[in-house]
Amino acid sequence: MNKNLSAPLLRTARLLDLVPYLNSNQGISIQDLAKDFGVSTAQINSDLTTLWMCGLPGYTPLELMDLEFESGYVTIRNALTLSKPRNVSFDEGLALMLGLELLQQQIPVDRRDLLAEIEVLKDRFSVQIGVPRAVTISHAIKPEIVSPLIEAINTSQDVEISYHSLYSDEISDRKVTPLAIYEEDGNSYLRAFCRNAEALRVFRIDRILTLSKSLRDPNGSVAPKDFISADDIGKDKISYTIRIKRLTRDVIERFDLAQLLQENAKPEEITVELSSFSGEWIQRAVLATGSDVELLSPPELRKEIADRALNLLDRYARK
């Protein structure tokens, strides 16, 4: 496998390789399977559990992978059945075309081979589901930001960014070591080691205003990949709970609740657990909503908000 791929891509490639390999090596032991793929037995067990939940739409026992590995030996029974060609529905084809378009926008322009392959696939899906070829996605992420970030991740290169933080409503210049790009709730994020703060940080990519390459100081701190584990990421996040008493548009946008409300009905009152990197932002956001939102935890921030509210009332009383 290509060692330049990120960990999620490496795992995806391994999962794709596992099915034909298991079909040709029925009854292989988990230890031998892990050795053949160059991973730990714990990782291969995790991969097999993921495969066990993969299959075709319908997701009944007839469409899911039929794997047996609890005995320590792996057997796959219905790989040949699942490999039979299936027609792509209109919704599936459209989702694939949109996904290919999004992927195409994030691939560096010098990878003409990948861009050409995507064009071929888009043409095929366009004909199969009968939609115009010009299916596009517009978003706020600039290719001139994403492409250098991907290159920096692959080469362990530092970059300098100008970033607009909504928490403090300030634009700051930072030197960071990009570690990974991921999608969450419809937004693209950069997970990076911030050289200014000497700590892990997460940046929304559409809020990165400018980006330039930077040379790493050989006498500086240790490269983050040398000492950061996946379990360490997100430890500086602050978890907090709010009670929403009146669900206004301002509350939905301020606390980014659109996805949550799509999955749940809109009750008269709702309690939500969220997280933020800034206690100051949490206080300001809750105060800005007036009586529409109440902070339930953590207690120290709740007390800070109460003190601020009393201070504001005292100022009004003096006028």
Tokens 């030996």 map to which residue?
Answer: 73
Please report, for the chain, the start and end positions of each structural domain, with discontinuous segments joined by +.
Answer: 7-82, 90-129, 143-232, 238-318
Q: Comparing 21-25, 172-176, 235-239, which segment has the lowest mean pLDDT? A: 235-239
Tell me the whole-structure pTM to 2 decimals: 0.38
Matching CATH number, 7-82, of 3.30.70, 1.10.10, 2.20.25, 3.40.50: 1.10.10
- Secondary structure percentages of the chain, helix, strand, coil, to 5: 45, 25, 35
Matching CATH number, 143-232, of 3.30.930.10, 3.40.1180.10, 2.30.30.100, 3.40.50.2300: 2.30.30.100
pLDDT for the residue numbered 146: 84
For residues 271 and 241, the answer to whether their CB atoms sit within 8 Å is yes
Q: What percent of the chain has pLDDT over 90?
A: 13
Residue 109: HSE in the Cβ half-sphere, 13 Å Cα cutoff: 3
pLDDT tens for each residue of 199-220: 888 898 888 999 998 876 555 5
Question: For residue 246, what pLDDT band results from cuts at 50, 70 and 90?
Answer: confident
Exposed, middle or buried, 79 (CB in 10 Å: 0-12/13-18/19+)?
middle
